[in-house]
Amino acid sequence: MIPIVKPYIAPKEKMMPAIEEILYSGYIAEGQAVYQFEDQLKEFLNVPNLIATNSGTAALHIALLLLGVTEGDEVISTAFTAEPTNTTIALTGAKIVWGDVEQATGLLDPISVEKKITSKTKAIVVVHYAGMVCDMDRFNTISEKYGIPIIEDAAHALGSCYLNKKIGYNSAFTCFSFQAIKHMTTVDGGALAIRDQNLVNEAKRLRWFGLDKGVSRLKNNINRAGYKYAMNNVTATIGSVQLTEMDKVLTKHLDNGKYLDDKLSKINGVKTIPYHQNTTPSYWLYTLHVEKKSDFIKMMEANGITATELHLRNDAHTLFAESKCALPGLDAFYKTYIHIPCGWWVSEEDREYIIDIIRGGW
Ligand SMILES: *Cc1c(COP(=O)(O)O)cnc(C)c1O
């Protein structure tokens, strides 16, 4: 079976000596290896400020806390995402307001979002789902017009581009995940890119109980409770090695994605995604629309190719019952969208095989 996701781990000869060294170094908690990983990642993404965390969820939560999102506030988000995008909003006590998605892309629809803005709206969370990039031209305009900051959930979007630059620089906050199945895994981990340098120290305190790492433990003074969200040296070491492989891995995703875009656009019964202007997807998953979706899934599985929706629409959860509203764009998107494999593990023979199978019909 060609899987939809697969953890990429750098070659043993490169990875194992680095892990062994750090494990027996006597310093395995947050330390130099973490700061080095942060520097490497800043360079990779070309962003000035960034902190590493122990998960993408932690990065999202810290971003919301830095904006002071709390009970009584509203945050506009999307139901088409992995749950942590929204459980972190729930943790702040704020109300989630669903924006609808574009029927063609499944990405948050700026027109719907603008309609849902109220005096209580504290933030807009956009998700670059499956590596496809949201309509940032429009979202930037909305953010400026209303003075509402944007948090980009880029858990699927390492290497995705907006205006030919890697995602991470555009908004107040951009959150990355290095969980097992993402483009780059550190086993678990995440990062938060922060546009305003003045917020970096508070971000660091929020990831470490509220304590200031720059001040001796005995002279510290906590004035706001933080969390245990720090990355450790072992994870960071894995990340530093993984990062040296990412150009290669991301190129594989991109190359396969473009191949599928090209071939699928000529096949009946499927429709490719119209990506937004000024954006380049990183193809974490390949997304397309198909007729007779359940028949398509069965046919693909019978031929050894995973085809799946991957995530449950988040408005189906009881936790978010209060936010329930009509989302006709999402209803329509769900009827036809599906993901198929296109990651680094999909070889040239695999992708030709995938196209042959789809061309054969269902
Ligand atoms: C994976 C994921 C997260 C959370 O990342 P973790 O590192 O697993 O905490 C957040 N948002 C989306 C869309 C994700 O897919």
Task: Measure Cα distances from 354 to 27, 144, 301, 326 in Å.
Answer: 47, 43, 11, 36
Put residue 310 in one of left, alpha, beta given phi > 0 → left and psi -120 to 50 → alpha: left
pLDDT of amino acid 9: 98
Token digits for 249?
């891995």
Instruction: Pick from 4, 127, 153, 175 the residue to mutate for probing ligand 1's pocket: most ligand atoms within 8 Å of its CB.
Output: 153
Ligand 1 atom closest to Cα of residue 311: 15
Whether the per-residue pLDDT at 328 is higher than 90: the answer is yes
Residue appearing with tokens 């397309």:
288
CA of 279 from ligand 1 middle (Å) equals 21
- 182 in active site: yes
Q: What's the distance, Cα to Cα, between the start and end of the chain in Å?
A: 18
Mean pLDDT for 315-335 is 97
Ligand 1 atom closest to Cα of residue 153: 11
CA of 337 from ligand 1 middle (Å) equals 20
Residue 123's nearest CA partner among 88, 162, 84, 156 is: 88
Question: Which residue CA neighbors atom 13 of ligand 1 most closely?
Answer: 82
CA distance 159 to 176: 11
Whether the per-residue pLDDT at 214 is higher than 90: the answer is no
Ligand 1 atom closest to Cα of residue 129: 13
99 close to 109: Cβ distance less than 8 angstroms: yes
192 close to 50: Cβ distance less than 8 angstroms: yes
CA distance 27 to 8: 26
Instruction: Pick from 85, 152, 177, 228 the residue to mutate for probing ligand 1's pocket: most ligand atoms within 8 Å of its CB.
Output: 177
CA distance 278 to 163: 5
pLDDT of amino acid 129: 98
Give the global pTM: 0.97
Whether the per-residue pLDDT at 45 is higher than 90: the answer is yes
**What are the residues whose beta carbons fall under 8 Å from the beta carbon of 266, sequence distance 6 or more?**
none
CA distance 127 to 177: 12
Mean pLDDT for 45-70 is 98
pLDDT of amino acid 269: 96
CA of 177 from ligand 1 middle (Å) equals 6
Q: Looking at the chain, how many residues does it have?
A: 362
The model's pLDDT over 235-273, given as tens digits with 9 standing for 90+, comes to: 999 999 999 999 999 999 999 999 999 999 999 999 999
Radius of gyration of the chain from its Cα atoms, rounded to whole angstroms: 21
Model confidence band, residue 217 (pLDDT cutoffs 50, 70, 90): confident
Task: Measure Cα distances from 313 to 79, 101, 131, 182, 212 in Å.
Answer: 5, 11, 17, 19, 39
Largest Cα separation within the chain, whole Å, is 70
Residue 4's nearest CA partner among 251, 340, 283 is: 340
The catalytic position among 122, 182, 204, 252 is 182
- In this structure, the residues whose C-beta lies within 6 A of any atom of ligand 1 are 55-57, 81-82, 84-85, 127, 153, 155-156, 177, 179, 190
Neighbours of 128 (CB within 10 A): 27
Give me the chain's average pLDDT, please. Answer: 97
CA distance 281 to 292: 26
The percentage of residues in the chain with a pLDDT greater than 90, rounded to a whole number, is 98
Task: Measure Cα distances from 303 to 41, 237, 277, 306, 357 in Å.
Answer: 39, 39, 35, 9, 8
Token digits for 348?
């040239």
Question: Which residue CA neighbors atom 5 of ligand 1 most closely?
Answer: 56
The model's pLDDT over 111-143, given as tens digits with 9 standing for 90+, comes to: 999 999 999 999 999 999 999 999 999 999 999
CA of 56 from ligand 1 middle (Å) equals 5
Put residue 214 in one of left, alpha, beta given phi > 0 → left and psi -120 to 50 → alpha: alpha
CA of 228 from ligand 1 middle (Å) equals 17
Specify the 3-state DSSP secondary structure of 176.
Answer: strand
CA of 352 from ligand 1 middle (Å) equals 31
Whether the per-residue pLDDT at 325 is higher than 90: the answer is yes
Bigger pLDDT: 58 vs 217: 58
Instruction: Look at the alpha carbons of 107, 110, 111, 115 in this order and tell me if their dihedral is positive or negative.
Output: positive
Ligand 1 atom closest to Cα of residue 181: 1
